[in-house]
């Protein structure tokens, strides 16, 4: 039997041979804050690689997702033009304007499915939106705010296009120039970008522009808000000053295509009444009739 003294000697010898514990070293992480943020960002909110951006003539911001499939050389192109805010999407927060790039939801649950179906049927899908709150000039006094608004808009557009995942182009008019609706600059740029041989190659009768600026009066019964303007639809509408009335031209009418509100286009509702002060088309028709009669 081993004595207590011998056992202590064995333990002492054994303990002396034990290696010291390893030194803990601080490992520097190679993961950046942006990578962490990207990891926790939902896939639907991430910037897709298919989206490319460019600026035309310093004020027109253009985003393109994918490439349109070539159609029949004999078929005239049918275009579905859409406004962005209050037509494709609306703020998820319920506020009038979105707070950031993540503050959005589909205007209605039927929107993405309807647009995808139209794209599969051969329609050319484009977004044409006035975005006067965005500045591309780089003014030093408002640079920080301008950069945030531009970043939020790009992030929002990229997320929307990623969820649709169809060939589509977004035109955003940031200045008060030929691109701002109801002027037709964005439409002319569309014709150029898609290499349409001429405006006659577009099937105007079966094309449409969908927007919320329709000049509709508000409703006292159901609490519906009055449209902020009529630049998408009408030549002139009430609630605007004289200078605005002179400048307001119906975008869809100027292009020569049909117009529908989001309620009419996506939900199948009947057209609601709108207020029109002056429609130049009526006067042009009368003048043409008089000239024709005089010629006869």
Q: Which comes out higher in pLDDT, residue 247 or 38? A: 38
Per-residue confidence (pLDDT) for residue 97, from 0 to 100? 84
Per-residue confidence (pLDDT) for residue 80, from 0 to 100? 97
pLDDT in tens, 68-106: 655 445 578 999 999 999 999 999 999 988 889 999 999
What's the pLDDT band for 197 if we cut at 50, 70, 90?
A: low
The rounded distance, in Å, linking the Cα atoms of 258 and 265 is: 11
Q: Please compute the mean of the pLDDT values over residues 228-257 and round it to a whole number.
A: 55
Per-residue confidence (pLDDT) for residue 48, from 0 to 100? 46
**Beta carbons of 252 and 274 less than 8 angstroms apart:** no
The rounded distance, in Å, linking the Cα atoms of 277 and 292 is: 27
Question: What percentage of residues in the chain have a pLDDT greater than 70?
Answer: 60
pLDDT in tens, 147-167: 999 999 999 999 999 999 999
Q: Which comes out higher in pLDDT, residue 48 or 294? A: 294
What are 183-186's contacts with CB under 8 Å, separation 24+?
183/249, 183/251, 183/254, 184/251, 184/254, 184/255, 185/60, 186/60, 186/128
> Please, what sign has the CA dihedral across residues 177, 181, 182, 188?
positive
pLDDT over 80 (residue 289)? no
**Beta carbons of 214 and 259 less than 8 angstroms apart:** yes
Per-residue confidence (pLDDT) for residue 196, from 0 to 100? 77
Which pTM does this prediction carry?
Answer: 0.70
Q: Which of 64, 172, 178, 168 lies closest to 124 in space, CA to CA?
A: 168
The rounded distance, in Å, linking the Cα atoms of 58 and 39 is: 34
On average, the pLDDT of the chain sits at 77
Per-residue confidence (pLDDT) for residue 115, from 0 to 100? 98
pLDDT in tens, 2-13: 555 554 455 554
Can you list the domains of the chain with their CATH numbers?
43-285 (3.40.50.1000)
Q: Please compute the mean of the pLDDT values over residues 114-123 and round it to a whole number.
A: 97
The rounded distance, in Å, linking the Cα atoms of 240 and 225 is: 16
Partners of 130 in beta bridges: 173
């Amino acid at each position: 039997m081993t004595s207590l003294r011998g056992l202590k000697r064995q333990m002492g010898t054994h303990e002396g041979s034990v290696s010291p514990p390893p030194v803990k070293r601080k490992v520097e992480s190679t993961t950046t804050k942006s990578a962490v943020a990207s990891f926790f960002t939902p896939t639907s909110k991430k910037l897709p690689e298919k989206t490319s951006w460019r600026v035309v003539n310093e004020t027109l911001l253009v985003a393109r997702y994918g490439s349109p499939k070539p159609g029949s050389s004999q078929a005239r192109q049918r275009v579905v033009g859409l406004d962005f805010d209050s037509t494709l999407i609306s703020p998820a927060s319920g506020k009038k304007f979105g707070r950031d790039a993540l503050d959005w939801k589909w205007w209605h649950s039927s929107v993405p499915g309807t647009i995808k179906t139209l794209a599969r049927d051969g329609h050319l899908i484009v977004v044409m939106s006035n975005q006067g709150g965005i500045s591309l000039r780089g003014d030093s006094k408002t640079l920080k705010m301008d950069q945030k608004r531009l970043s939020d808009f790009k992030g929002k557009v990229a997320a929307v296009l990623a969820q649709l995942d169809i060939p589509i182009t977004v035109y955003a008019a940031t200045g008060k120039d030929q691109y701002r609706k109801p002027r037709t600059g964005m439409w002319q740029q569309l014709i150029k970008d898609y290499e349409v041989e001429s405006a006659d190659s577009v099937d105007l009768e079966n094309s449409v522009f969908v927007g919320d600026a329709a000049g509709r009066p508000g409703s006292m019964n159901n609490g519906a808000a009055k449209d902020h303007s009529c630049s998408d639809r009408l030549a002139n509408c009430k609630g605007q000053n004289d200078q605005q009335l002179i400048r307001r031209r119906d975008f869809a009418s100027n292009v020569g295509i049909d117009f529908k509100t989001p309620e009419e286009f996506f939900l199948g509702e009947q057209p609601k009444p709108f207020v029109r002060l002056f429609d130049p088309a009526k006067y042009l028709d009368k003048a043409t009739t008089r000239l024709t009669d005089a010629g006869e």
